[in-house]
Structures are given as structure tokens and as C-alpha cells.
Chains A and B, each alone.
Chain A
Amino acid sequence: MHVVYPAVLAALLFSIGVYGVLARRNTILVLMSVELMLNAVNLNLVAFDVWLRDALHGGQVLTLFVIVIAAAELGVGLAIVLAVFRNRRTVEIDHLRDLAEIPPGGEPPAAGPDGDTPGPHGGLPDGDAPDGHMIPEGDGVPAPARGGAR
């Protein structure tokens, strides 16, 4: 087995993941692309472990560690995404602009095509929720709020 084949495949998978992270709008799709990138790294680790015949099996053991860390990362990431969804009613990255710098002109730049300013976060009035406590939600509520936010 030539090392080029797995290395090139890993490079392709990694760049597909880079594209996905940059181009996707939904946070969960971004997380999927991150998983693709981690898998590319795993493939590299396995291939080079096989090539270098490491006596400690460093590459494959590190692959297992990366898989575990990816699982942990995904768990925490999805928990964060769900918390964001509870507060904002959206998980689309370019609608989450609270940390965007407002230029001296005044209006935040490009806050969405239809004037979707980040002020009222899907019905949550500003100044409410001072402790970051989640709104107790009815589970049927968010569909109209979500459609109206766009």
C-alpha cells in the first residue's frame, strides 16, 4: 500500500470539511464538517502508523484517543447548540450576531437581508434573563417564532 493513497484521501476529506465549516449555515452541519476533518486526521494517523511500524502503536492509539475526544466535543457542542436554540430560537450561524462589532456608523453590518437585527432574539425581550436562565418553554412554541425571524 503506497502511503500516497491514504494521505491524498485524507487531504481531500480535510478540505471537504474545511469547505463545509465555512459554507454551511446550520450549526449542526458545521459540526458534521468538523467530524469529517477529524476523520481525515484519523486516516492520516492510521496510515502513518502502518508505514512507520511504530512499536508502541502510537498512531492507532492516538486515533482511538481522537475518536474519544471527538465524541466528547460533539456532546458538549450539541449541548451548547441546544442551549443557543432555547434562547434564540435559531441555530443558524449568520443570525447569531451578538458579538459582531458595530461600526461607528451605527447600524450593524449586513444583519441579514431583511433587516434581521440581533436585538429581539426571537421574542426574548432585551434585559430579560439577567442570569442566563433559560425561558421555560412550551415545546410547541418555537415554530412561528422561527419562521418570523427570517
Chain B
Amino acid sequence: MTAAAPGLWPPTVQEVVFLLLGVVAAGSALLVVTTRQIVHAALWLVVSFGALAGCYLVLTAEFVAWVQVLIYVGAVVVLLLFGIMLTRAPIGRSDDLDSGNRPAALTVGVATAAVLVTTVIAGFGTAYAELTPGRGAAEPLGASIFRNWVLPFEALSVLLLAALIGAIVLSRTDIGGKD
């Protein structure tokens, strides 16, 4: 996008911070999909989402970062923990959390990673984004949502209401079918 993009090496301070947070995010995500204790998977998910929120902060998307902390770290993980508890998952170590198609899954995952990473590096190897602080703050983002994106926002609120009612209907046991 910009004409005089600096080279990939040496990385700037923001890039170093981003790389460290990215290592944390990817490493804990790996632990989420490989750990043998199901509750630990949910807790590693907290670490991964938190590191991703840090990545958003480095990318100057501060409002998205706080929303990520509130909704993902706050709500989604708690919901997942409730699901774990309510389905009486094995709390301690259990060796059968992986299904039999693990080698195939590993192959597909590594192939996906290889294709995506090579494509992304080939496509955006020289792209450079200037970071201007405050671009993703609450004020410009809120103005943008309520000026330009009002219709999707309202449609989304209807969707959220429908999902809420659907979840309630699905999980209640005292309301059955028609008969």
C-alpha cells in the first residue's frame, strides 16, 4: 500500500511485541487442541484469547480488543465451562479425548497451514500497514457503526434475540412438542 515500506528485518518494536503475543496465542491454541484435560483446554483458550486481544491492541484496534476480552474471555469461556460441567465431562486426565482420525486430522491441518502460509507470504510479503493510534478507538468505531452500519447492527440484534430464544427452547425440558 505504501511506497517506501521498510524491510522485514529488523522488526520494529510493535512487530516484536506482536510476534511475542502471537507465539503465546498460537502456542496456547496448540495446547487447546492437544491437552488431555478438558478443563485445561478451556483455560488455555483464555490465554489464547487474551494474547489475541493483545495483538488487537498492538494493531491499534483497541475497541475490538476490549470487546474480545469482555465477550470471549468473559462470556464464551464461561459458557464453555458450563457446558463442560453440565455434560459431566471427565474432569481429570482422560486419554480418549482424541478420536481415531487423528493422523488424518494432522495431515489436513498441516496441509492447510502450508497452503495458507505460503499463499499469504506470496501475496502480502511486502505489504506494510502504518499504525496510527486511535483509529480503532471507541469513538470512531461507534460513529461508524451507528452511521454506516446501522442496518446490519439491527439485523444482528434480531439474530441474537432469536438465538437466545432458541437456546432457551432447546435447553428447557418442560416444553415439549405439540402433543
Which of B124, B149, B160 lies in contact with A72, CB distance below 8 A? B160
A11 to chain B minimum Cβ distance, whole angstroms, is 4
Q: Does A124 make an interface contact (CB < 8 A)? A: no
Q: Considering only CB atoms and an 8 Å cut-off, how many residues of chain A contact the other chain?
A: 81
**Beta-carbon contact of B98 and A24 below 8 Å:** yes
**Beta-carbon contact of B127 and A3 below 8 Å:** yes
- Chain A residues with CB under 8 A of B91: none
**Beta-carbon contact of B1 and A51 below 8 Å:** yes
With A6-B59, A13-B25, A136-B173 known to touch, is A79 a contact of B99 (CB < 8 Å)? no
Which of A17, A23, A39, A47 lies in contact with B59, CB distance below 8 A? A47
B residues with a Cβ closer than 8 A to A are 1, 5, 8, 12, 14-15, 18-19, 22, 25-26, 29-30, 32-33, 38, 41-42, 45, 48-49, 52, 55-56, 58-61, 63-64, 67-68, 71-72, 75-76, 79-80, 82-84, 86-89, 96-102, 104-106, 108-110, 112-113, 116-117, 120-121, 124-125, 127-131, 135-136, 140-141, 144-145, 148-149, 152-153, 156, 159-160, 163-164, 166-168, 170-171, 173, 176-179
